[in-house]
Chains A and B, each alone.
Chain A
Amino acid sequence: MDKNNRYPRQVAVKGWLLIGGAILLIAAGMVITALSPVTTRPYTKLTEGIGIFLLFIGIWYLWQYFTYKRNPTSLMKSRVESMDERNLWIRYQSGNNAFKYGITVTYIELLLSGIMEGEIPVDYAWWGLAFIVVSTMIVYIVSLVHYEGKY
């Protein structure tokens, strides 16, 4: 099987595996929720949440596969785009920037938390963590746009 045929098959297999895994996680979450005490609910909801996330990724893979079945050039084009070395280089550089930013901001939050000796209100801690996640993503996207223009 040449790589042109292998790639669509890999996409379909990934899609079905992710959907299978997602269904298992969602089902496990539901069963544990039904059987366990109320105090464990946040964790079982988290399990279900991860399952739903995987389900969407799986559906996206399968959507790509069925689009390929209708139009074989579309998936090969997306394969070239995803494997393109310039794109990979830009993603690598952007990821590097986002990582450096994320680790710095997290360290600052840890220092602040240390200064406040654990007295940091839960609401502020939550907003702080949410800020780190969102701003790290923004740094990644801005870096992508910057390097796309530069290179």
Chain B
Amino acid sequence: MKNRLEELRINKGLTQQELADHLEVSRQTVISLEQGRYNPSILLAFRVARFFSLPIEKIFIYEEGFENGQK
């Protein structure tokens, strides 16, 4: 699943560690999310959306064919 996390983080002037601290996740999770290697849970997706004050679908872009597992 693609997402705009890196773009939004940079626009907000945050480092990966700072974003991780706000979301209460590890920096490695932010890195994996930005690289699209890890799909967040619905709870984390909501936390991210709330943090950036955007709807979830404006941050995480669903693509057909990636229904199962990660990526």
Contacts and interface: CB of A to CB of B under 8 A. Distances in A.
Interface residues of B, number: 15
Interface residues of A, number: 10
Contact of B32 (A81, A83, A151): A151
B37 A80 contact: no
B26 A151 contact: no
A87 B38 contact: no
B67 interface: no
A84 B38 contact: no
Contacts of B21: 80
A83 B37 contact: no
Interface of B: 20-21, 24-26, 28-29, 32, 37-38, 40-41, 43-44, 70
Nearest to B37: A151
A87 to B, nearest CB: 7
Nearest to B31: A86
7 contacts: A80-B25, A84-B28, A84-B29, A85-B41, A86-B25, A86-B28, A89-B38
A81 B70 contact: no
A84 B20 CA distance: 10
Nearest to B26: A84
Nearest to B24: A80
A29 B25 CA distance: 43
A85 B40 contact: yes
Contacts of A150: 37, 70
Contacts of B43: 85
A146 to B, nearest CB: 13
Contacts of B25: 80, 84-86
Give the 7 A-B residue pairs with the shortest CB-CB distance, closest first: A86-B29, A84-B26, A151-B38, A84-B25, A151-B37, A86-B38, A85-B41
Interface in A75-91: 80-81, 83-87, 89
